[in-house]
Amino acid sequence: MKFAISYSTADGLDPDGLVTYARHAEDCGFEGLYLPEHIVLYPGAALGPFEFPPSLPFPDPLDCLAFVAAATRRILLGTAVLLLPYHHPVVLAKRLATIDVLSKGRMRLLTVGLGTLPGEARATGVDFGTRGRRTDEAIDVLRLLWEGDEKGVSFDGEFFGFDNVTSYPKPHSGTHLPIHVGGSSRAAARRAGRRGDGYFPGGALTPEERATQWELARAAAVEAGRDPGALEYTRWGSIDMSAERVEAFAAQGVTRIVVGPTSADPEHQRDEMSAFAERFALLSAG
């Protein structure tokens, strides 16, 4: 089992605090650091029963991860989730490859999702109803640009198109960055199987629905001629979770657990991370 940590900017973005947090997570032995994304908020924006305060700070996760990379040595960089339909994949391919090169190959926990806020889609000029198709196409574009050589590559899709273009630099030590698919729907599970390197479902699902979605992801991989055994399965966990709970996750096929501190106090957060790392011997495992 791999263990990663999430970082919340709900109390504001403090550069020194972010660096201290990331370095401590690295020293504890966590595999990776995840940041969320919202491009814009607005009064009434809600996810289920939770309404986002319009002033809730959501900095750009990729800029934050590049900043973290410069201050750390080993920890992998992740998003949960990057709202892919609101990014142009030609520009995004360049940004992600650049971060991966500068971090010496650590931009490896990219998780993409569709987004649930119609106002966010409108603000970015995207038809909310096309998010799924745009995301599928964007994943294809990202991979095509990373894998293309000096002869150039072409694409003719519903949303994106180009002829004989090249995109350099390539990702560090290769031409591929893993793309995990996040979401809480069966469509997201199927997308993960058809196009993703892993599935990272949301938190508000019943155990039965989780099992169904994971089987859907694996079945979709088989239908697409892909190896279902190569899919990673990431889940949210709690920082006080027991070894028995981790074992139950592993029995469900989970390969990575992402946790987050319960405290907003930086010192208490570090204590929670240290206690978790000691409980699961993360440094020994690494």
178-206 pLDDT tens trace: 999 999 999 999 999 999 999 999 988 99
Instruction: Using only the alpha carbons of the chain, give its radius of gyration.
Output: 19
Strands (E), 126-165: 153-156, 161-165
For CA atoms 241, 244, 246, 251, give the dihedral sign.
negative
Taking residues 198-216, report their average pLDDT: 95
pTM given for the model: 0.97
- pLDDT of 7: 98
SS3 assignment, position 180: strand
How far apart CA 152 and CA 170 sit, in angstroms, is: 13
Please say whether the beta carbons of 280 and 3 come within 8 A.
yes
How far apart CA 183 and CA 83 sit, in angstroms, is: 11
The HSE-up count of residue 205 (CA atoms within 13 Å, CB side) is 19
- pLDDT of 286: 62
Residue 112 pLDDT more than 80?
yes
The pLDDT-based confidence of 73 (bands split at 50, 70, 90) is very high
Residue 109 pLDDT more than 90?
yes
Q: Are strands 32-35 and 2-6 parallel, antiparallel or unpaired?
A: parallel
